[in-house]
Amino acid sequence: MDVTRDSSPRPNSWPPAVPGAPVGATQLTKAVARAVAKPLIKPLPPPEDELEATQVLTEPIGADHLGGDHFGGDHFGAGRHGAAPVARPAAVPAEHPTAADSPATRRPPRADQSIREYRAFALPGWIPLLVILLGVSGVVLVLAWTGLIPQLDALPDVRSDAARASGRPEVTDLAIGVVTGACLLVLLALAGLLSNPGGQTRLLTRWGRYRGTVRRTGLLWVNPLVRRRRVDVRLRHWRSDPVHVTDRAGTPLVVRLLIVWRVKDTARATLGIAEHETYLREQTQAVLTRTSSALPCDSNSAPGPALRDGQWFADELTRALAAETAPAGIEVYSVQPLALDYAPEVAESMRRRRLADLDAGLRTVLVDDAVEAAALAVRRLERATAHELDEAARSSLMEQLLVAFVTPAGVTASVPAPAARTVRKEGKPA
């Protein structure tokens, strides 16, 4: 280890000063200064946010820096007459990120934080009903008091003294005001009545502005000046139409899905997007296309994961679709593949290929078993006879055994007789 070398970082380390063209220099001196000032490898320009932090400093460079003896200051008449200001940056970034370095990954859209569901103001239904009853009763009493309602003998006389004395209705300003106020109150109570069944909500807006969501069920009263939109928040399932996609090998497939979902945020599902059901259908097709292209449909020829693994396929579809639909206020519970088939144009050829792969695999297993059985039979024969066969005899015997094991029943196969030559295990001829 070289202890004489100082390896500590220097925060104020500057690049070497760039010599400028001295005063009164010739063409040779100017060419040398230009070559030093313009290096072959140019650093990338700093980003826009770092340009503001760049400072231009000047420092006089005298004859010692210009090297009057080396450049011939006495001959050229330069280097000893003064100094030339040189501009250099305050900091040189080590690395400049480029567009190629940043990862280009697709991300789901962000949800608008200003649109979020919250509870709207609503009163129980019995309060407006009581107001309506009291208003109607007050109007009837006022009309009876003024004499507009005929007096019945079975009811007590509630007419005023003036109406009772004159025998005709006496309408006053007070009676008109009371009846008008009671009627307006009854109309206001009737206009705000709302019947909200279970599994549905009412999204309230006033002049385009979101005013909350009513999730309470039953008879309620809300502001009569708001617009009410019905939003279904029940657990729903959707059976998709056949979707045409391709696997990793480019083989066309037809997939049918069963999606279980519901509206979680009514504000985002209604105001944050045009049609949340259309959005769900389009995102389902996009996610299915992206997921199906990751693996092959079958793994008959090469062992490994495939789209036939229903558990992995369903989990991946559920995770991806839930991430895509969350900004729209939709909650996806499960995505299950109902059918995964080849397209009709390649179904027959893929079926023949699958049968050929299965046949080849079966034949490989049968041949391997036959070879092991033949080898075991030859070893047992040598052990039983206490004789060891030579290579030619062993090969011929195994060939005959393999033919006997593999040949189907009822088919005869001719195999040349082996040149049998047995040798005792002690090495003596028989």
> How far is it, in rounded angstroms, from Cα 234 to Cα 375?
68
156/4: higher pLDDT: 156
Residue 351: pLDDT band with limits 50, 70, 90: confident
Res 146: pLDDT = 83
Tell me which of 149-153, 185-189, 279-283, 391-395 is least confident. Answer: 149-153
356 CB-near residues (< 8 Å, 6+ apart): none
User: Strands across the sheet with 227-232, in order?
Assistant: 209-214, 200-206, 227-232
* C-beta atoms surrounding 53 within 10 Å: 10
* C-beta atoms surrounding 149 within 10 Å: 16
**Residue 201 backbone class (left: φ over 0; alpha: ψ -120 to 50; beta: rest):** beta
Residue 411: pLDDT band with limits 50, 70, 90: low
Is the whole-model pTM more than 0.95?
Answer: no
Distance of CA 375 to the CA centre of its chain: 57
Question: Nearest CA to 188 among 137, 135, 228, 227?
Answer: 135
321 burial class (0-12, 13-18, 19+ CB within 10 angstroms)?
buried
Q: Which residue has the tokens 């229903």?
A: 310
Instruction: Give residue-wise pLDDT tens across range 254-307.
Output: 999 999 999 999 999 999 888 999 999 999 999 999 999 988 888 766 667 888
Instruction: Give residue-wise pLDDT tens across range 209-242.
Output: 999 999 999 999 999 999 999 999 999 999 999 9
107 CB-near residues (< 8 Å, 6+ apart): none
Q: Class of the 236-342 domain? A: alpha beta
Question: Nearest CA to 298 among 356, 244, 345, 224?
Answer: 356
Average pLDDT, the chain: 75
Instruction: Give residue-wise pLDDT tens across range 74-100.
Output: 443 444 444 444 444 444 444 444 444
Res 172: pLDDT = 82
Hey, what are 317's tokens? 């579809």
Res 53: pLDDT = 40
Residue 308: what residue type? R
